[in-house]
Structure 1
Amino acid sequence: MHDVLPFGLLIGLVALAVLAAVLSNRVSERSRIPAPVIFLVAAAAASDLVPALGDALSVTAIQRVVTVALIVILFDGGMNIGRRRLRTAAGAIVWIGVAGTFVTAAAVALAAHALFGLDWTTALLLGAALAPTDPAVVFSVLGRKEITGRSGVILEGESGANDPVGIALMVALLAAAGTTGFGAVTAGALEFTLQMGIGGTVGLAGGALLAVFIRRVPLPSAALYPLRTLASAFVIYGAATVAHGSGFLAVFVAGIMIGDLPAPYKGDTRRVLASLASLAEIVAFTALGLTVTLATLPDGHAWQIGLALAVLLAVVIRPVLVGLLMARVRLSRGERVFVLWSGLKGAVPILLGTFILTSGRADTLRIYDIIFVVVAFSVLVQGGLVPAVARWCGVPMRTMPPEPWSLGVRLRHEPDNVHRYRVTPAAPADGARIADLDLPDTVWISLISRNGHLLPLNGEAVLRAGDDVTALVAPDDTADARAVFTTPTPT
């Protein structure tokens, strides 16, 4: 029993760290400093001040911790998008997520080779590491504001797509590192194709099987439903990885497949996964921060190179090259500028940096330090300016005030005629009395909420944009009811 006190101290410290992670979002909202960068820099500083922290976990162990975190983050991100939202921008997401990753990696590699003299293999590895983006940082600094329209979907979808693409590209480059010439290109292309093809296939199949599983197999307790869904995501990741595919792409695709699926305890599952994804983001940045040694940043001009590449990425490479790829994407000028500015770097580039760190190549520590500087600049400077850029660009947003109280009814069987609508500006219902709505007789409005308050249900009540309306609708009249409360979504 002599180890009870140290273990108790450890539990207390871990709990304090979790509380700090939760409260960091309030600090982030007020200071406009993204919460992840606080933990990234703090962990890096702590590992310098207390070297035992950095030595407690090996780089391989940290890679595994971050991998687990990314599985949760990507699966939750896929569920947030869902098939319905994906259809509004599927072409743009796939095009930018794949082609954008390649052109960004190539441009960074060219800059690193031409400006700083890095050999081509090292430069390509650095480019692959810095290509993926992370929209979670964007949403953390926006606080209670939610991006509406296609720009938010494109940001989320691009990151969900380019994270697996970037990881697969890094794996392919490392696999081809032992060969030269045409053999290297062939080996790298084959590995990348296998990673993406198998990962996408397993994701589609796994998502389809998971949809049947969660709808057809009941469980004895409501608390088990979120655990089942999360465990299934890890099974899908494992299946894709064992088959030599991209497990990250598989879980992202599977999340999209079930994102819009009506399922028992779906709301409870979404809340649990969202909480775990938020915690996973902090855990990933903290764990990766422990691998960074701030004292080595001046060595080999790592911080100067990193700062130069970060500025090039922010103001030249992404705006010009990704901007060209987005030329045919239907967005307003302001939304386009916002999406190009908000391609922030996050945990995935540092994770890919650990792959380089453990590859056995020369000068890996300097490359890792460069990646850290780029990510820190991107999250701190670019991320800090995101709210201002959003205002300047006139990006459509809506404020999402906290709603800590819920009102609902649990049913034994799945309801097939309950629908919830949000009244949109200029919709037929905006500014109209309930009695004047052109609704079929089979539509019965049962609940109206405005700014967190319930409205009385009588014919004289006037609806406004932003009202949440719950209605009972006959299956044949769902399209007519939706047309009354919402405006058509641009394609």
Structure 2
Amino acid sequence: MEGTSSFGLAILVVALAGMAAVASNRLSEWTRVPAPAFFLVVAAVAVDIFPGLRTLSTTTVQDVVTVALAVLLFQGGMDLGWRRFRPETRAILSIGVLGTFATAGLLAVAAHTLLGLDWRPALLLGTALAPTDPAVVFSVLGRRRITGRTGVLLPGESGANDPVGIALMAGLLASSTGSALGTAGHTALLFVQEMVIGAVLGSAGGWALRRLMRKVALPAEGLYSLRTLAGAFAIYGLATVAHGSGFLAVFVAGILLGDIRAPYKREIERFHTALGSLGEVVAFAVLGLTVPLWTFTAEGAWTDGLILAVVLALIVRPAVMAVLLWRMRMSTGEKVFLAFTGLKGAVPVLLGSYIVSAQVADADRLYDIVFVVVVFSVVVQGSLVPTVARWCRVPMRSVELEPWALGVRLRDRPEGVVRHVVAEGSPADGAPIEELDIGEDTWISLVVREGRLLPVSGSTRLRTDDEVLLLTGDDDETCARLFTSHAT
């Protein structure tokens, strides 16, 4: 019975911690400090006050955070969807891949010059700090959602650069010996291998999961979400076993599933959104338990981390984005906002733990620097995101919570019913309904703008991010082109 009581106490503590983590999102709205900052800092302080909390091994922490990141990337891919991703593929790959390499290289130069690190530790540090985390941005914005190209590029960049950063780190750690040229060649080979295998298996796995979701019925509603989750982990595991990027694989699979029509799709999306929120809490809290704050002053991590954080925020990130965004058709304000919002999150801390596991020279110092940079990015930059968005006049809309739903359940799939979101710059953007070439057998049934139903008539003029429900007897490809932007 004593063991039962101890287990019950542990459950109580975890439950209270979870409730506090959820409540911190409310505190985040008041303070403009992203909720992940509370998870990370509170866990780090708690482990200093109660050393007994430092019982998790580095391997266990990495495994837990890996599972959480796989969930987050899959959910992020589903939220993005192929229809939104496709027109911005070139821009996302440019920022997510080239931007990651450029950021890692410039940060390595800064770490070598300003902090006196050798080139290999400096490059590892730059690689760890290159990936971004849009979840932190959206945590600060609360119920305001960024629209237009910025709202696609921001999550798209993170979804792309997280696997890129992880694969690059794996290649660098695996190439620990040999000449500089040989190390660079081996790293490039491993990186390309991980990216190609991850993309191929993610596409194949996403296609297979699409077929299962649409064709194979299950006896209970709750099983549909569990099947999707199991499928995502199967895709991650298969890609990893095949020496590819499991993170890229689940992100690609999520994108392919984002727009499909399948039984219980809304319920599946809500399930993965809730699971993604849980994954964010777990990832930041567990990573916070690995940071001994009492060592920071002795090792000079605070000073080094703050120097690098300022250089990253004010010089490196703006310089990289200025080069990559200058030819894209966006307002200057949107470009400035994208340059400012390269916030760091759980992935840099995870990559820092890989450096510690590899027993690189000065690994503890590098890990502490990563932690300081992440805290600065989340707390200082994150707190300024709403203000910068207002200054830059970034288009966004308010999303009010709607806790009550009214719907109709059907036994069979409703044929001829399709839903589109009006993309910025698409033929439908700004056009009245009567001027849309949707065909004689198609009509628009509902238009939802900022959560409100609009009366539909021929003179109703559509706007960016309007949700449009169509009833059609024709092929939907023609209609889809009207609502999709082809800007590059």
* TM value normalised by structure 2: 0.92
Between stretches 444-453 and 323-332, larger displacement belongs to: 444-453
Aligned counterparts, 1:2-151, within 5 A? 2-54=2-54, 56-151=55-150
Residue 242 and residue 380 in structure 1: after superposition, are their counterparts in 2 closer, same or farther (change >3 A)? same
Report the equivalent of 1:322: 321
Residue 459 and residue 64 in structure 1: after superposition, are their counterparts in 2 closer, same or farther (change >3 A)? closer
Report the equivalent of 1:341: 340
In the aligned structure 2, how far is the partner of 1:240 from the partner of 1:421? 32
2:425 corresponds to 1:426: no
Contact map agreement 1:110 1:123 (CA 8 A) in 2? yes
Residue 478 and residue 415 in structure 1: after superposition, are their counterparts in 2 closer, same or farther (change >3 A)? farther
Displacement of 1:304: 0.6
Contact map agreement 2:240 2:246 (CA 8 A) in 1? yes
Letter in 1 for 2:12: G
Displacement of 1:446: 4.9
Contact map agreement 1:426 1:487 (CA 8 A) in 2? no
Displacement of 1:426: 3.1
In the aligned structure 2, how far is the partner of 1:458 from the partner of 1:253? 36
In the aligned structure 2, how far is the partner of 1:332 from the partner of 1:216? 44
Displacement of 1:416: 2.4
Report the equivalent of 2:222: 223
- Equivalent pairs: percent with the same residue? 56
User: CA-to-partner distance for each residue in 1:271-329, whole Å, 9 max, x for gaps?
Assistant: 00011101101110000000001111112321111101101111100101232122222
Contact map agreement 2:399 2:451 (CA 8 A) in 1? no
Contact map agreement 1:473 1:481 (CA 8 A) in 2? no
Report the equivalent of 2:425: none
- Other structure's SS at 2:344 match: coil
Report the equivalent of 1:171: 170
- Other structure's SS at 1:472 match: strand
Displacement of 1:158: 0.7
User: CA-to-partner distance for each residue in 1:176-225, whole Å, 9 max, x for gaps?
Assistant: 11333332222212211211111111111111111112112111111001
Letter in 2 for 1:427: A
Displacement of 1:458: 8.8
Residue 228 and residue 50 in structure 1: after superposition, are their counterparts in 2 closer, same or farther (change >3 A)? same
Report the equivalent of 2:255: 256
Aligned counterparts, 1:369-380, within 5 A? 369-380=368-379
Report the equivalent of 1:286: 285
In the aligned structure 2, how far is the partner of 1:487 from the partner of 1:241? 34
In the aligned structure 2, how far is the partner of 1:151 from the partner of 1:21? 29
Count how many residue pairs are aligned between Structure 1 and Structure 2.
482
* TM value normalised by structure 1: 0.92
Q: Unaligned regions of 5+ residues in structure 1, if any? A: none
Contact map agreement 2:87 2:485 (CA 8 A) in 1? no
Report the equivalent of 1:240: 239
Residue 460 and residue 149 in structure 1: after superposition, are their counterparts in 2 closer, same or farther (change >3 A)? closer
Between stretches 443-452 and 200-209, larger displacement belongs to: 443-452
Letter in 2 for 1:91: R
- Other structure's SS at 1:297 match: helix
Displacement of 1:244: 0.8
Residue 125 and residue 450 in structure 1: after superposition, are their counterparts in 2 closer, same or farther (change >3 A)? closer
Residue 125 and residue 467 in structure 1: after superposition, are their counterparts in 2 closer, same or farther (change >3 A)? closer
In the aligned structure 1, how far is the partner of 2:120 from the partner of 2:230? 38
In the aligned structure 1, how far is the partner of 2:124 from the partner of 2:436? 60
Report the equivalent of 2:182: 183
Cα RMSD (Å) of the superposition? Answer: 2.5
In the aligned structure 2, how far is the partner of 1:438 from the partner of 1:191? 49
In the aligned structure 1, how far is the partner of 2:374 from the partner of 2:440? 57
Aligned counterparts, 1:153-164, within 5 A? 153-164=152-163
Letter in 2 for 1:94: L
Letter in 2 for 1:381: V
Residue 189 and residue 440 in structure 1: after superposition, are their counterparts in 2 closer, same or farther (change >3 A)? closer
- Other structure's SS at 1:146 match: strand
Displacement of 1:481: 9.8
In the aligned structure 2, how far is the partner of 1:31 from the partner of 1:419? 41
Letter in 1 for 2:46: A
Displacement of 1:474: 2.7
Contact map agreement 2:418 2:471 (CA 8 A) in 1? yes
